Amino acid sequence: MRRVLRSTTVSLTAVAALTLAACGGEPQVQDIFAAGGWPGAHADARNSNTSPVTGPQSPSFAWSRPLLSPTTSGPTVAASGQIFVTTHAENGCNLYSFEMDSGRKRWCNRLAPAVAASTPVVDAATNVYVGEDGAMNSFTENGQLRWRTIVSGTPLSAQFTGDGNLLFVTQFGVVTVLNPQNGREVVPSHQLIPAPTAAEGQNLPLPPADLGLDQCAFGAPECPVPAGPAIDLASGNFYLTLRLPDHDRASVVAMRYADGTLTGLWSADVLDGGTSSSPSLSADGTTVYAGDNQGTLWALDAATGQVRWNQSLGYPAAGTPSVSADGLIIPAPGEGGHLLALRDEGDHAEVAWEREDVAPVGASAQAGGAVGYTEVREGPDASAPTALLTFDTGTGETLDQDTLPGGSGPTTGTAIGPDGEVLTTTVIGELFVLR
């Protein structure tokens, strides 16, 4: 079922009046995008989980660092090679920055606990932007606070828009666009879930900024928007998933940021049982891909929301698929899943290849040179060591496999650095780099 969204503008008098502006003498960012790195949660604006950098076919372990606490987000990599990652630390630092070459910690900061739900995004000047309980923050490459803007909820993974602004959505469904230089609102925020009327809200307390975040990984109703958006930079259209209260399904929602306004376009209620992942876009911006909790991958027309096809995976995807520029789709495996590649044939998907002999424990990333990477369990037991599997994206054949020393259990993100480095973080809290 499709429906047209009605725009609901919310006043930020109570939730965004406090903005700490950046120092007026700092240099202006010339190019907001960190091309050549892995600047956001899923590499780029369309959430492709791909890199144009030619990846090594036989990477070797370079270094690892304990993060001292669990992590549920993957690493972000600036064009300079500087790494950023957040954790669930109860005490001490929960936002870290490391050097790519040596693994040396450059700096770390303590933010509110919900920072663990927000994957940092970085611009070409290596300014980093990351959410926490009730706020979006920006830091310099040296860890100094540039600005902090109060918002409703916790900002999830942000994106840069075509005109260089910062767009993000909180788990409450509040869409915000900020100027990356000073943190001020560019347009009035948009609330995807209708706000209570004056009479209804008169005696309602403000919800805690971290409300429902612990349910985002399951796509549960308590977390209406569980992940960040995908953006078509050419048109300004962006796409996210939304599960309204008392709904068995989540929707793929399309909006547009252009000409100083946020506009609702369409909503397609197709994701059975909800979803815990972000949508992704085809390279030409015509197709939106999203997986649901019942094990189906959906392809929707990006202009209308009409279903183009759906493909049963046999398992619920546990993350955002990797979608290459030439249309190879590698879904993120879930519980009991296997390595699988699909081709979008317009009105249906075809299986390009599949590997039922490996047990992935992480999402895949595709690099240039027809090389892909994912993490696998090296044995049938759940406690078996974790390894990085390097595979040929054309055939699925193994090119290399490297044990992650001391690594075990699921991983939370696979990223590719500016010089072909392969990075991953584990749920138990460790960062690995291979090159």
Instruction: Provide the residue ranges of all domains of the chain, joining segments of one domain with +.
Output: 2-434
Instruction: Pick the range with the lowest mean pLDDT from 22-26, 46-50, 156-160, 318-322.
Output: 22-26
β-strand 19-20 against 349-355: which pairing, if any? unpaired
DSSP bridge pairs for 271: 250
Instruction: Pick the range with the lowest mean pLDDT from 129-138, 261-270, 374-383.
Output: 374-383
| Whether pLDDT at 3 is above 50 | no
Range of 22-36, 188-202, 324-338, 415-429 with top mean pLDDT = 415-429
Reported CATH class of domain 2-434: mainly beta
Among candidates 384, 336, 383, 328, which has minimal Cα distance to 360? 336
pTM summary value: 0.91
| Whether pLDDT at 18 is above 90 | no
| Whether pLDDT at 397 is above 50 | yes
Q: What is the pLDDT of residue 201?
A: 58
pLDDT tens sequence across 45-93: 999 999 999 999 999 999 999 999 999 999 999 999 999 999 999 999 9
